[in-house]
Every structure is written in C-alpha cells, then in structure tokens.
Structure 1
Amino acid sequence: MPTLRSRLLGPVLILLGVAALGYAGTFAPAVVPSPSADGVASAVVSPLSLLATPPLLAAGSVLLVGGAAAAAGADRSARPALVAPVFGAGAALAFGVGLVVDPGSVPATATTPAAYDALASGPPARIAAGAVVGGAVAPVVQATVAEDTPALLAGSVLLLAALVVGASEPPSLVTGGVGGAAAVGLLWAVDPERWRP
C-alpha cells in the first residue's frame, strides 16, 4: 500500500512527465502531407528541435514511469521502468506524424508510403533514438540497484539498439541520454526507496 508521501509524490512526478512530453511536442519535427512529388514534407519547428526534443521526451517518459511507480507504491522492481523507452519512442512517433503540428493531417500521413521512409530516416527517427537512449537509462540504473539481471539485460539491449539506430545523429543520442540521466537523478533524490541502493 502506498504511503502518504508516495501518493503525493506520484502525481507530481506524473505531472512533470506529462509537462515535459507536452513541451517537447510544441517544437518536435514532423512529417506532414505536401503537394510535392513524393507527397510529404518535413516540418521542423525550430533549428534546436533536434537537440531539445530528445531530452524532454526521455525525461518525460522516465518521470511518468517513476511517478506511476510511486503512486502505486510499487516495489523496487526495474521491470516497469522498461516501459520508459517505449513511451519516449511512442511520443516521438506521434509527434513525427504531425499530432501537434497539424493534427488533421495525421490520417493522411499515416497512410502515405513516402511518409514511412521520411519517418524512418528523417528527424523523427533520430529524435526517437535519442528518447529511447534516455529512457533506457531508467531500467538500467534501477535494474543495477535492484540486482535484476533480466531487466538489466533488456534495458542494455534497448540502449545499445538505440545507439546503433541513431549512430548518424550523435547530438540527439547525447542530449537524450542527458535528459534520461537527469530524470533518474531527480527520482534518485526524491524517491530514494525505489531508486537508491
């Protein structure tokens, strides 16, 4: 049963996570329909979006998972933290198909074959790789602390796979990793029962 502290801490962390994800969505690059020859165009809201979006997505996903664990009074298991990279990648994909930039275009983008190539090889893929790197910091750290070898292996595989996929965009990987590490540091400070040895 969650303590009063956990019941208060959980919603605050969830709110911080949602705020970070929402803020990332305001300037995340997207692939939207276009009258061009291939039918899609890349919309980059800000030149800094490739640097700022991965850490916000990573931090937001880690804080969501940490907040949910605190609110539920979960034990030190690292397995729920394996969801953090999935949240970050899912948000990057949702923003990549124009959920924030042009919500009305999402069905058209999702059904345009050229959009798949643009999503897989363009800025949204690099953003997702950075978000997965940052999100994978949480299960790796928590599995190390909890001595959970299967979760540590799964988190390490996610981390390495994201590094391989995003190798062409090191700044996105670095900033995503920094964002995830900062979120884990915050959880380490405010929720020591679940995040410290």
Structure 2
Amino acid sequence: MAGPRRRSVLISRLAGKPLGSSQGVILDELRACILDGEVPPGSPIPVDGVAAAFGVSRIPVREALMTLIGEGLVDHRPHLGYQVARMTAQEFGEIYLVREAWRPPRCGYVARAALARDGADVVVLGCAGMADLAAEVSRRVGVPVVDGVAAATLLVQSLVTLGLGTSKHGEFAPPIPKPYTGVLAPFGPA
C-alpha cells in the first residue's frame, strides 16, 4: 500500500504567496524558484497546485509556464505535463556567464554602451533567462526594457486569440548577422 503523497517542493515554496496574483507575479515567483536551485531539475510543476497556491485559474499559470519554456527553464511533455528543465553543465555555465555580464552594477554600463553604439531608444532582452533583469536595467539606464521572449509569446497568443495568421512565407528579411564581442565572443560561430 502506498504511503501519503508528498507535497511538491515547488508547491511548498509557493505556500503563502498573495492570492489572486497576476500572470507577471506568478512568472516572477516560478522563475525565482527555478533559478535559486530550490526546485531541482526534472521536478514536476503541477499546474493545478500552482494555480491553487496563487488562488487563480490555470490560465495565468499556463501563460507563465509558456514564457518559462521560451526561456529554457521549463519543459513540457504531452500527457506528462510541465517540469523544471534539465540542463547540461555547459548550458548552465553559459546562462550564468551571460547573466553575470548583466548583473548590477555592470548592467547599466553594458546597456548604456549598447544604446550609444546602436543609437537605440529601447533595450530588448533577447537572451532566455534574463527577463528578471528588465526592471533593474530600465531603472539604471532610463529607457524602456522589453523582455523579447515574453513579448513574442504574448504577440502569438494575441494573434491566435484573434484568429489571425498569414499564409505568406519569406516576407521578412533575415536578421543582419552581428559579431559576438566582449564576454559573448566565445559563443560566436567558429
């Protein structure tokens, strides 16, 4: 006979969070749980349990999980559900090398240099796993900072919701290749 079912590490960590939280709060909390290492890779993420912990429906939880999938922090397997992504030691090291370049106080310097070089009025974070830095970078450089993964996810969700789409292919030019410089140079094409 099986014993009582153990409570998920993730659900234990989320206990006592504000009820009725927004999708952004749920996203931030889930990301923090994963990135601080308290929830081990491969751990299941029970959608119903997370929704109950925040006192919300499954919809904002699934939206948050879709963003985390885009960031490479969560995996989804049909009929099995969501789980914390398993990363190789090399992938883990690469994420933290890139994140370290953007940690305060360097993030302001790096962003200001990029804005000056590119003549841009906004910073778009295009690297998975860096969305939690958006507010800090924006505060330090005084321009809007957009989480590119979350923005793309919301755009696609909006298009699907509105029933819009396109059958045209090749209407957009491919991105202009940029050289990898500074701390990113080791990640450039060989």
Fold-level similarity (TM above 0.5): no
* Structure number with higher helix proportion: 1
Structure with the larger RCO, 1 or 2 (CA within 8 Å, 6+ apart): 1
* Structure number with higher strand proportion: 2
Between structure 1 and structure 2, the one with the greater Rg is: 2
TM-score between both structures, scaled by the size of structure 2: 0.28
